[in-house]
Amino acid sequence: MAQYSAQLDGVLVALADQTRRAVIHRLGRGPASVGELAREFPMALPSFMKHVRTLEANDLIRTVKSGRVRTCTLNRERLALLDDWLAEQRRIWEGRTDRLERFVIDSEEDQQ
């Protein structure tokens, strides 16, 4: 649980940046080399590489080097951590809404 929580912290911080979200978005269409990606973002290569490393360190993307080309691939499963957390919150709200509805129905029946 502590590990899951630390991983989720990392994923959330990694996604809390417009450039890194744009990289995730781009890689959703398929793998790309660091060079191809860097050309799409208006910043110096060292700055861009920092973003790539943050995404990789949090396992949101995976990179493989072949010769001089490093190819980045999205790790969709990692985003599922966030999906799962959101789904868990929804289950709590919906459970609460169900209880509220039942309370209203029960109250109405009591008044009849």
What does the binding site for a copy of itself look like in residue numbers (CB under 8 A)?
5, 8-10, 12-13, 15-18, 21, 24-25, 28-30, 74, 76, 79, 82-83, 85-86, 88-89, 92-93, 96
Residue number, 52 or 78, with CB nearest to a copy of itself? 78
Nearest CA to 14 out of 52, 71, 64 is that of 52
Residue number, 12 or 65, with CB nearest to a copy of itself? 12
Residue number, 96 or 102, with CB nearest to a copy of itself? 96
* Shortest Å, Cβ 35 to a copy of itself: 21
* Shortest Å, Cβ 2 to a copy of itself: 8
49, burial (CB in 10 Å: exposed 0-12, middle 13-18, buried 19+): middle
